[in-house]
Amino acid sequence: MLSSSLIRELTEIVGPGGVIHDSKQLAAYECDAYVAQTGRPAAVVLPADTDQVAQVVRCLAQAGVPFLPRGAGTGLSGGATPMHHEVVISLARMDKLLHVDFANQRATVQPGFVNLELTRQVAQQGFYYAPDPSSQSVCTIGGNVGENAGGSHCLKYGVTTNHVVAAKVVLPDGELVELGDPYGDPLGLDVLGLLVGSEGTLGIATEITVRILKRPQAVKTVMAWFERVEDASDTVSGIIADGIIPAACEMMDQLAMQAVDKSMYHVGYPPDIEAVLLIEVDGLAAGVDDLAERVVEVCRRHRVRTVRVAKDEAERSLWWSSRKMAFPAIGRISPDYMVQDGVIPRTRLTEVLKTIARYSQEAGLRVANVFHAGDGNLHPLICYDARIPGQTEQAAELGRRILELCVDVGGSITGEHGVGVEKIREMEYLFTDTELHLQARLREAFNPRDLCNPGKLIPRPARCVEVKQAAAALASHTSHTV
Amino acid sequence: MSSDEPTHAPIAAALADAIGEAQVRTDAHLAKRLSQQATPIVVATPRNPAAAARVLRLAADHGWSVLPCGAGTHLEAGPVLKPVDVVIQSTNLNQVVEYSPADMVVTVQSGMPLSKLRHVLAEHNQMLPMDAPCTPAATVGGAVSAGLSGPHRVLYGTFRDLLIGTRIILADGRMVRTGGKVVKNVAGYDVTKLVVGSRGSLGFLTECTFKLKPLPLHRELCLLVGKSAQVDWVRARVMDSPLLPSAMEATNDAALIQAFISSRLGTDGPAAEWLLAIDCHENRQAAAYQTEQVLLLAADLGMHAEVIRGQDVERFWARHAKTWLQPGSVLRVQAPPTDMMSILNEWTQFAHERHVAATVTASLPAGVGRIGLWAGTVDEQVELLQELRARARQRGAASLLETAPKTVRSVVPMYDSPRLGTAERRLQAAVQRAFQSGGSHFPDTFAGGMTS
Amino acid sequence: MNRALSQSARKTPAPADAPETGAFLYPEPPDTDRYSACVHCGFCLEVCPTYQETSDENLSPRGRVYLIKQAAQGLLELDEGLENPVFSCLDCRACESVCPSGVEVGALIEKARGQFHLKAEEEGGASPLTRLFLRGVFAHPRRLRALGKMLRLYQKSGLRAVARSLRLLRVLPPHIREMEAVLPQLSDPPALLKLPERIPAAGTGAQPAAPVTGALFTGCVMDLFFSDINQATARVLTRNGITVVVPKTQVCCGALHVHAGDREQARALARQNIDAFLASGADYVVVNAAGCGAALKEYPELFSGQPDLYAQAQAFARRVRDISEVLVEVGFQPPRGRIERTVTYHDACHLCHAQGIRSQPRQLLTSIPGLKLVPLPDSERCCGSAGIYNLTHPDMANRLLERKLDDIPEAADAVVMGNPGCMLQIRLGVQRRQAGVDVLHTVQLLDESYRKEVIEC
């Protein structure tokens, strides 16, 4: 509980409707879209502008109360989960589009502005905002910055960090800083680049300037059904080897297809195919037909059963909904699921999927696979039932095995969902103590009192490690120079 | 620095002991290039990362000041340094570590020359799309550290978008990896971003992993010649169209125009002031459409236009780069694309009034422009640069002194921006300190920018 | 306390088939399977009108379902922490339209409200809904002047029973006078009384392959305020070869009771309607009010524990059709009378979200010669009417009404919809703004076009 004087102070800053502190109203803020771990916040504050955020942060910092920023709460790794009674600073009311400069292809938004809304607002003039996480109809650009969100089309167009050019940021002590430059390169060290993907541990972005792109003149979407996962994987490599960078290249396996076909986004996948690929090429109309034909040709070379190009926008949109709604659609075949976010070199796809299937059998838990095949970003969805004692732990253990597998083949534990609280342990598998120590020091540079989203992104004991590390370094160093 | 000023001889001896005599030399010329110091610099060229780590550990131990460096092709940049004891050079770390063409990812040691990497990748019809003007010796790590970029950043972005992982040896000799070898990765802080343009201030870069792109199957470049306003109008129209220029470079480089346009037009041709090069890396059909559209725009405005294809396109860009490799001072401006042509005009006029030979070029959609001053005394250049910078600032644009003789750099600060505030600079310094913990002996390669 | 993964306190471990009860101690608790289907993805947030207005997770579908789940697990009490989220829901079902997991939020909310209702009954106090009414209302006696008129309205209609059960009549929400001012004249006697019990299909036009009978559900609000629309509905049906029957023993659909949590009363009404309509032997139960249609289709929900009644309710529900739905299904005769107007179409929540009816009304409208249909931005967002929501939550309802009015395209001279609640609400807004826009039911335009062709021929 916060002291009543602190609540009064916060209320003075954001107004009476902007502070939720009644313990009965805080349960809804216990977690984001990652539900396996929860924590009750001390309060929720809903500021309306940069100045209010700065005042709120200053007020909390002075009181030594930890806090964390939250967008729409669609994060999949618990980045916005208050594990230490933090005050949740919800940016949901900061949902304005502040400025659009079409001629120079930049837009400035508040952090609570919804991703897809930006595309909607600039579509009339032929523009769009490229990063497109599956939750883009809900997730906020501030949240995207925090997580360095990706999406289906980042294969060709890059992830959030490639589109954020400048930001106003409230630092953990309440100071306001402007980072980045809207054009050209960062001047000096790219601090903005460090902030993007920092999961709210380095500060709170309150105004974000992003690139907006001209919509491609033409888009062709190809759907290909394969009897064997291997053929689908080989097709992905084959397309790339052909010198084509598709705008997107997505894969789903049998279980995922079954789940999503039960939702309102029913495509009607044949029950006996093992994998479906959704491949999109875009560009100038004159060149896109040729690209699509080449993609179809590569599919044919790899024993595709059926391959076709979307006949109209409605079909294309259905196919995409089928893909984008696949995660939550798992709710139709399993009471609970955990989604993993491992990344592997594209060429290891077949082998890794086989191993995942084996792990799945060993654990006795079903795993559906939905992923960005083009960039090797897997989303194994581990189905479980939390009501069965022990199954949550089994699912978590299976997830851990899968992530370690990704690391073992030269990949990473997370491609776009972030570390949050979920993958803290796997960070220790991926990084050495020295590396974690460096990251901890970077956090300290911004957030010396560790009040801003404590315990997220990097394991906390890194500071203890620091001591051990220093001793070890000293020892080896001495032995060398003697 | 340790209190007792070390001389180069004992440093060289200690380093030779640690990494082998053949990998250590002293260089008096380099000392003059880098700083005002009289004593020669000891240059260490370790043959493997472990040896590099030993160099840095020794330096930390003895309090030597160390400057990480590649082939040394871009040293006329940044503030003039305080005396440097040791330059640790990556040129002996020049191997491909891992190249998986099917993954379109390559990991190379930092000392590999960009020109060599280009050949390696071309064998698999791939490329690292970074086309900044460089000499053949320029290394991968040096280019990353210097944050170089070229005209094709319009389509491909910069190292910021292409570099996905590194290995760095910190000031205390410990090795860290940043990022990884997969194209998407958000595990931990994006430390890799900091490395781009870090100018050796964070550690000694030993390895870089890049995302690659397929070599364009077709090359087709439109060259439009005309007045500044015409060029700007074409820029606006193309940016507001679905066309996909891989580069859209405007320049008043007379030699380039002479070589590619005037020589063909003969003396009766129009007076060519500005050249706008619109490149296309799309497939043949798309390129044909784009060319058609660009030619229509040119015809509308009565601009002279030519189309070149295949190898000629390479030759064009090579000739474009050549101008920017000559010695001189290069000031970069970062501004909205809509302001760029007027800034370049103003700059050109200023240079003309001061009788300083100058060229300008700009990657228009990226909002990056450059002026190169190729003549004039130090005082003339300094005065002109300060004037150019002031004009840019009046328009809210940031500017960066990319290259200049030491004498100029000792007077003109590296950065100028109405937006780069003290808070951001303080954060940058704090980041640097986070890296240098326990070592902290890299000279401050940002000093000019950080303190002005 | 944090409940970490290892403690697995997210769900109290229990046999997978045993229903959790927790704070829900009364019959018909929210179904475990329904809230378990929610994976907390948050896709529902952006379409939820109350979340859009408040940005408060407590007032979002995901938040509400989470709280219901928490209560079911015994982690929350059945108190005001849950009450406000559950009762502030419009029950507009917009969330259901976007939910990839297929969570039936409406059913969860209704059952949770049932728990509060039963608790209040047990405690002998006022129901939460009634308490909401009480807030700040009794303190303003002048507002009670409207009571008389409202009472007369209520007395004449089937709404009386509803209002009584909700103790509505004791209080009136602050804006009732405004509302009352725009109520249509009650000159027309209710269609339920006026229409004959059986109206044969008209001889003109194409006949369906086999004779079709449609039993008209006349509704309360519809028949009280818009009995002409019921008349029009009957005309349009017969015009299309459908024999209309009007079961005279039909009663209120019970939607408002379900929304308020009074499931017992709703069940009684449902049983009477099921009997009345099944006895009529009609092929279809035809409804022109979206809210009633959705409630009728969901009757089986009320009888989940009673197999015989459940089967009957299902047999009944299978026959229920919205008027637009039945016309398209049977194959309606395109009207020939020209109507030179530009109109826009508002999707009533209980048509689009609860019944998935979106294209049929538009098909009817665009079949009318001369009629131009322009899109209404965000047409599926609730107008704030939501049953009696505009009476219980006037502030939120007003905000949503204002947004709805802002969205009406300038070109439109009428807003068309398929629900009387929306019609009253939007009419209120139009009147207030003095916007020159008619508020019409889809059937009214279709009927006008059919009638014109008779005149024109």
- CATH code of the region A97-214: 3.30.465.10
Smallest CA–CA separation between C57 and chain A, in Å?
Answer: 6
Domain spans, chain A: 4-90, 97-214, 216-329
Over the stretch C138-149, which tens digit does the pLDDT of each residue have? 323 333 334 444
Which residues 244-303 on chain C approach chain A with CB closer than 8 angstroms? Answer: none
C350, C293 Cβ separation under 8 angstroms: yes
CA distance A401 to A289: 42
Q: Do A104 and B338 touch (CB under 8 A)?
A: yes
Considering only CB atoms, B336 lies closest to which of A183, A198, A376, namely A183
Distance from the C43 Cα atom to the nearest Cα atom in chain A, whole angstroms: 6
Residue C204 has pLDDT above 70, yes or no: no
φ, ψ of residue C139 in degrees (nearest 5): -70, -5
pLDDT band (50, 70, 90) for residue C455: low
CATH number, domain B323-416: 3.30.70.600
Q: Is residue C298's pLDDT more than 60?
A: yes
pLDDT of the residue at A461: 58
Please tell me which residue, C249 or C209, carries the higher pLDDT value. C249
Chain segment A117-142, per-residue pLDDT in tens: 999 999 999 999 999 999 999 999 99
Give me the pLDDT at residue A287, please.
95
pLDDT of residue A176: 96
Q: What are the structural domain ranges in chain B?
A: 8-91+433-451, 96-214, 220-322, 323-416
Residue type, B418: P
Pairing of strands C414-417, C342-345: parallel
Q: Which of C43, C57, C63 sits opposite A137 (nearest CB)?
A: C43
How does pLDDT run across A345-382, given as a tens digit for each residue?
A: 998 999 999 999 999 999 999 999 998 999 999 999 99
Q: Between chains, do B428 and A191 touch, taking CB under 8 Å as contact?
A: yes
Mind telling me how many Å the CA of C290 is from chain A's nearest CA? 21
Closest by Cβ to C58, choosing from A28, A74, A389: A28
User: Is C151 a member of any domain?
Assistant: no
Q: What is the CATH number of the domain that holds C359?
A: 3.40.50
Q: Are B426 and B369 in contact, with CB atoms under 8 Å apart? A: no
Chain B nearest C-alpha distance from A178 (Å): 7
Query: Neighbours of B (≥3 Cβ pairs closer than 8 A)?
Result: A
CATH class of segment(s) B96-214: alpha beta
- CATH classification of the domain holding C303: 1.20.1050
- Residues A231-259: tens digit of each pLDDT: 999 999 999 888 899 999 999 999 999 99
| AA letter at A156 | K
With CA atoms as reference, the chain A residue closest to C59 would be A28
Instruction: List chain C residues with CB under 8 Å of A385.
Output: 16
Q: Would residue C130 count as lying in a domain? A: no
Handedness of CA C202, C204, C210, C215 (dihedral sign): negative
Q: Please count the residues of chain C.
A: 457
- Asked if A342 reaches chain B (Cβ–Cβ under 8 Å), the answer is no
Indicate if the pLDDT at residue C391 is higher than 80: no
pLDDT at site C7: 39
In a domain, C162, yes or no: no
Alpha-carbon span B427 to A413, nearest angstrom: 28
Q: What is the pLDDT of residues C299-327, one digit of tens each?
A: 999 998 899 999 999 999 999 999 999 99
- Mean pLDDT, residues A444-454 taken together: 95
Q: Do C242 and C357 share a domain, yes or no?
A: no
Alpha carbon distance C115, C108 (integer Å): 11
> What is the pLDDT, as a whole number, of residue C159?
55
**Of C329, C345, C380, at which residue does a domain stop?**
C329
Distances (CA, A) of B145 to B139, B166, B194, C351: 10, 11, 10, 61
Cα(A283)–Cα(C224) distance, integer angstroms = 58
Q: Do A and B have ≥3 inter-chain CB pairs under 8 A?
A: yes
Q: Which of C329, C354, C374 is the last residue of a domain?
A: C329
Cβ–Cβ contacts within 10 Å for residue C16, how many? 14
The fold of the A4-90 domain, in CATH, is 3.30.43
Distance set, CA B133 to CA B91, B130, B151, B245, B340 (Å): 19, 9, 9, 19, 21
Q: Over 50: is that where the pLDDT of A478 sits?
A: no
Burial of C42 (0-12, 13-18, 19+ CB in 10 A): buried
d(CA A420, CA B188): 10
Q: Note which residues in 108-137 of chain A have CB less than 8 A from chain B.
A: 126
Say yes or no: C239 and C309 in one domain: yes
**Which CATH number do you get for residue C49?**
1.10.1060.10
Which of C307, C329, C351 terminates a domain? The answer is C329
B196 to chain A: which residues are within 8 Å by CB? 190, 193
**Is C298 within a domain?**
yes
Q: Is C455 exposed, middle or buried (0-12, 13-18, 19+ CB in 10 A)?
A: exposed
For C270, list phi and psi in degrees, rounded to 5: -60, -45
The answer for A 349-388 residues in CB contact with B (under 8 A) is 372, 375-377
List b or e across C91-107, with b for residues whose CB sees 16 or more CB atoms inside 10 angstroms.
bbbbbbbbbbbbbbbbb
Select from B356, B257, B78, C450 the least CA-distant residue to A188: B78
* Helix ranges restricted to H, B106-167: 114-122, 140-146, 153-156, 159-162
The confidence score (pLDDT) of residue B80 equals: 83
Contact C66 A138 (CB under 8 A): no
C70 contacts chain A (CB < 8 A) = yes
Can you give the pLDDT at residue C202? Answer: 81
Is residue C160 one of the residues assigned to a domain? no
Q: Which residues contact C335 (CB under 8 A, 6 or more apart)?
A: C367, C368, C369, C446, C449, C450, C452, C453
Rounded to the nearest angstrom, the minimum Cα separation between C67 and chain A is: 7
Q: Per residue of chain B (452 residues), give pLDDT as tens.
A: 444 455 789 999 999 999 999 999 999 888 888 887 888 999 999 999 999 999 999 999 998 989 999 999 988 888 888 888 999 999 999 999 999 999 999 999 999 999 999 999 999 999 999 999 999 999 999 999 999 999 999 999 999 999 999 999 998 899 999 999 999 999 999 999 999 999 999 999 999 999 999 999 899 999 999 999 999 999 999 999 999 999 999 999 999 998 888 666 655 544 558 999 999 999 999 999 999 999 999 999 999 999 999 999 999 999 999 999 999 999 999 999 999 999 999 999 999 999 999 999 999 999 999 999 999 999 999 999 999 999 999 999 999 999 999 999 999 999 999 988 888 889 999 999 899 876 656 766 664 333 32
- Helix locations, C136-185, DSSP H: 145-156, 159-165, 176-181
Q: Choosing among A124, A125, A175, A185, which should be mutated to test the B contact, i.e. which has the most B CBs within 10 A?
A: A185
- CA of B335 vs chain A CAs: smallest distance (Å): 6
Whole-complex ipTM: 0.95
Options 3.90.650.10, 3.30.70.2190, 3.40.50.880, 3.40.50.720; which CATH number does A216-329 get?
Answer: 3.30.70.2190
Contact across the interface for A442 and B431, Cβ inside 8 Å:
yes
Q: What tens digit of pLDDT does each residue of A182-204 get?
A: 999 999 999 999 999 999 999 99
Q: Tell me the per-residue pLDDT of C223-268, one tens digit each, with 9 for 90 and over.
A: 888 889 999 999 999 999 999 999 999 998 988 888 888 888 899 9
The residue of chain A with its CA nearest to that of B187 is: A414
C276 and C370 assigned to the same domain: no
Three-state secondary structure readout of chain A: CCCHHHHHHHHHHHCHHHEECCHHHCHHHCCCCCCCCECCCCEEECCCCHHHHHHHHHHHHHHCCCEEEECCCCCCCCCCCCCCCCEEEECCCCCCEEEEECCCCEEEECCCCEHHHHHHHHHCCCEECCCCCCCCCCCEHHHHHHHCCCCCCHHHHCCHHHCEEEEEEECCCCCEEEEECCCCCCCCCCHHHHHCCCCCCCCEEEEEEEECEECCCEEEEEEEEECCHHHHHHHHHHHHHCCCCCCEEEEEEHHHHHHHHCCCCCCCCCCCCCEEEEEEEEECHHHHHHHHHHHHHHHHHCCEEEEEECCCHHHHHHHHHHHHCHHHHHHHCCCEEEECECECCHHHHHHHHHHHHHHHHHHCCCEEEEEEHHHCECCEEEEECCCCCCHHHHHHHHHHHHHHHHHHCCCECECCCCCCCCCHHHHHHHCCHHHHHHHHHHHHHHCCCCCECCCCCCCCCHHHHHHHHHHHHHHHHHHHHC
From chain A, the residues in CB contact with B451 under 8 A are none
Say whether both C351 and C325 belong to one domain: no
Residue A411: its chain B contacts at CB < 8 A? 180-182
Do both C365 and C381 map to the same domain?
Answer: yes
Q: What top-level class would CATH report for the domain B8-91+433-451?
A: alpha beta
Specify the pLDDT at position B419. Answer: 87
| Per-residue CA distances from B285 to A306, B142, B294, C284 (Å) | 27, 38, 14, 58
> Residue range A256-274: average pLDDT?
92
Split into its structural domains, chain C has a count of: 3
Quick one: C319 and C305 in the same domain? yes
Model confidence at A471: pLDDT above 50: no
Distance from CA of C262 to the nearest CA of A (A): 25
Report the top-level CATH class of B220-322. Answer: alpha beta
Query: What region does A454 belong to: left with phi over 0, alpha with psi -120 to 50, or beta?
Result: beta
CA distance A37 to B313: 57
Q: Which residue has the tokens 């997770």?
A: C57
Same domain, C287 and C346: no
pLDDT above 50 for A480: no
Same fold, B220-322 and B323-416: yes
Residue from A108, A69, A107 nearest A91 by CA: A69
- The H-assigned helical ranges of C55-144 are 61-72, 80-87, 94-98, 105-123, 128-134
Minimum-distance CB partner of A291 among B283, B430, B450: B283
Alpha carbon of B83 to those of B36, B53, B62, B359, B412: distances in Å? 7, 22, 15, 33, 19
Same domain for C37 and C112? yes
**Residue B79's pLDDT is what?**
84
B24-to-B18, B41, B47, B92 alpha-carbon distances in Å: 10, 10, 11, 11
Q: Please indicate, yes or no, whether residues C321 and C337 belong to a single structural domain of this protein.
A: no
Which residues constitute the domain of residue C441?
333-456
Say if C346 falls within a structural domain.
yes
- Does C314 share its domain with C195? yes
